Amino acid sequence: MRSKAGLLLLCAALLVAALPAFAVEHAVAGKVTKIDSATKTIVVRLADGTEQAFKYTEHTAVHAAKAGSKAAKKGAVESYLAVKEGSDVVVHYTGEGANKTATVVNDYGRNAFKVSKGTVVKANQAAHTFTVRTADGAEHTYRVAKDASMDTGQGIVKGTKYDVKKGEKVVVHYSDEAGNKVVHFIKHM
């Protein structure tokens, strides 16, 4: 009986130790305002004007998200982003408050994003498009990019896998590409 209790205790300890590996990943989009190599942090200004700081490590991947440049660079945050202040980025991270750690930084370049918010009035999952009505009553249709991500509040979902539903309130970070509004990040409000 004692060995079963010991085995159960060991299994519980291993499970608790493994919990950080199952941390929920979230994402934000904004402009890089600062890279601090001394504290290994990246600061991003969000669309609402607030700033969030993220720690980075040698495991943080950086993606140049422009067309034709999909190579990921791990552990190169400082050297890659040092000259990228002002770039629009999507940061995937784990943790909360002052303990956020960037897992991926997708760099879209300077002035790449436009931001819109409103309510979804139409969605076509098969075509990866949806229409949002903004506060002024205008309706805008967006195409979801293959590399898009959405933070649902409970974690990240690849944008093309997420079933946007009529009535949802969203913030959309998009770029104009060949006359189309192409979404790179969606935040569920």
Residue 187 tokens read as 């935040």
Which domains occur in the chain, in start order? 25-110 (2.40.50.320), 114-188 (2.40.50.320)
What's the per-residue H, E or C state across 114-157? EEEEEEEEEEECCCCEEEEEECCCCEEEEEEEEEEEEECCCCEE
CB 94 within 8 A of CB 56: no
| pLDDT tens column, 47-77 | 999 999 999 998 998 888 764 444 445 556 6
**Average pLDDT of every residue of the chain:** 83
| pLDDT tens column, 141-166 | 999 998 899 998 888 988 778 778 89
**pLDDT at 129 exceeding the cut of 60:** yes
DSSP-derived secondary structure letter, 5 = H
The residues with which 64 forms a beta bridge, in sequence order, are 107
Question: What pLDDT was estimated at residue 25?
Answer: 93
**pLDDT at 125 exceeding the cut of 90:** no
Q: At 41, which helix (H) or strand (E)? A: strand 41-46
Give the model's confidence band at 15: pLDDT under 50 very low, under 70 low, under 90 confident, else very high: very low
DSSP-derived secondary structure letter, 69 = -
CB 42 within 8 A of CB 62: no
Question: What pLDDT was estimated at residue 73?
Answer: 52
